[in-house]
Structure 1
Amino acid sequence: MAKTALLIVDMQNVFASMATTATPHINELHSSFEKTSRPIFFTQHGHTKEDLTPPYKNQLVRRWGPDGSIRKGSKDAELVPEMKKLVKDFPIIAKNTYDAFINTNLASLLEERNIERILVCGVLTDCCCDTTARSAFNRGFETWLISDACGSANKKQHEAGLSGFGFACDNVMTTSEALSKLQKEKA
């Protein structure tokens, strides 16, 4: 049985409208992981004043501009209220790229806990979720991208992220499929 963690990506105010259908599934995953004492991690995207000051060293700030980037400490950067309630003592990984492994301690936190498998959910399916899931896969973790627990700007982008990851990397499945597989492992 693989030691499994849940990674909830960037469920922040700025993306709230993109996560409405994903949120109930994220809650279900969180509840199951908490009940079974499996590790849960959150990510929170944001840019420092230095990131947002020219010359822009951060690739995302160069791409989206300082006004299109999430400012650390702003209301947009905060986790949505429903996720704030779930955080409790679970780690929040601060990140400033699509990939939650770059410039963070996520890899070491997972390795310390002997994690072998990661379930990825949150927003945006085709940016931070897909990029982080691919990075996990490339680091040797079995990686499940949870289709109904992810959201994006529109259906086309959401499906493109799922399709690309499913083809190139690992497993794409629904919340119920993932929880069913995990339950069977315990039996």
Structure 2
Amino acid sequence: MLGALILIDIQEGFDDPFWGTRNNPDAEANAARLLTHWRAQNAPVFHIQHLSTTPDSPLNPDGGLVALKSMVSPREGETVMAKNVNSGFIGTDLEKMLRKHGVERITICGLTTPHCVSTTTRMAANLGFDVTLVHDACAAFTGNADSAWRDGPAPSAEDIHTAALDQLNGEFATVVPTDQVLA
């Protein structure tokens, strides 16, 4: 069984320079490929949308950039859940809806790898779901890393992305590329 696809925070606000440089410019295109596949299989799809409570965040509803990107925009009947914390499970009915659909396996992609993707992945595994995390349908930003707490250079967006995936693979998820999921 395919299970459910969860697309996390693939929103216009992440195009804002506020976030710094990013890795994986193909993340959204790969997420769109996954979404097309799930739709073709008539499998459950859940869109998660971050509505920040931080006033100057590009993801704050007052900033106007909270819309989901057009290449992954939801269709009628697909669930959209708004959140204002990192986890897609906190303050939403995500777990309840997954259980209602009898979902045991989930596939996750989205933005950003070390934050909302990581937190949602960890919670999904802790709740007992079998999680696949699609690494090339996720991305990270340099603006997310505050290395002021230590000596040394700031990590690159790719370093941040890879480190987050390394921490998730095995214990919380199986990390795979889009092509493997679609095969």
**TM-score, normalized by length of structure 1?**
0.80
Q: Aligned partners of 2:115, 2:85: CA distance in 1, in Å?
A: 10
Q: Deviations over 1:24-70 (max 9, x none)?
A: 211111111101111011000003xxxx4xxxxxxxx4xxxx32362
**Any conservation in 2 of the 1:94–1:104 contact (CA below 8 Å)?**
yes
Whether 1:25 and 2:30 are equivalent positions in the alignment is: yes
Which residue of structure 1 lines up, in the alignment, with residue 46 of structure 2? 41
Q: What is the Cα deviation at residue 20 of structure 1?
A: 3.1
State the partner residue of 2:19.
none
Deviation at 1:79, TM superposition (A): 1.2
One-letter code aligned to 1:78:
A
**CA spacing shift, 1:76–1:162, aligned 2, 3 Å:** same
Alignment of 1:1-187 (within 5 A): 1=1, 4-16=3-15, 18=22, 20-47=25-52, 52=53, 61=54, 66-68=55-57, 70-72=59-61, 74-84=63-73, 86-153=74-141, 154-180=157-183
Q: Equivalent residue of 2:169, what SS?
A: helix
Aligned equivalents of 1:130, 1:114: Cα separation in 2: 23
Q: Report SS of the residue matched to 1:87.
A: coil
Distance (whole Å) between structure 2 residues aligned to residue 6 and residue 16 of structure 1 = 23
CA 25–69 in structure 1, closer or farther in 2 if over 3 Å, else same = closer
Question: Residue 122 of structure 1 aligns to a residue in which SS?
Answer: strand
Kindly indicate whether the alpha-carbon contact (under 8 Å) linking 2:58 and 2:66 is maintained by their aligned counterparts in 1: no
AA of the residue aligned to 2:158: K
Asked whether the 8 Å contact 2:109–2:137 carries over to 1, the reply is yes
CA contact (8 A) 2:31 2:72 kept: no
- Distance (whole Å) between structure 2 residues aligned to residue 139 and residue 69 of structure 1: 30
> Across the two proteins, how many residue pairs are aligned to each other?
162
Contact 1:100 1:132 in 2 (8 A): yes
Give the 3 Å change call, closer, same or farther, for CA 92–157 of structure 1 in structure 2: same
Stretches of structure 1 that go unaligned for 5 or more consecutive residues are: 53-60, 181-187
Contact 1:42 1:87 in 2 (8 A): no
Q: What TM-score do you get using the length of structure 2 for normalisation? A: 0.81
Question: What is the CA RMSD across the aligned residues, in angstroms?
Answer: 1.8
Cα deviation, 1:101-126, whole Å, max 9, x if unaligned, reads 01111011101000001100010011
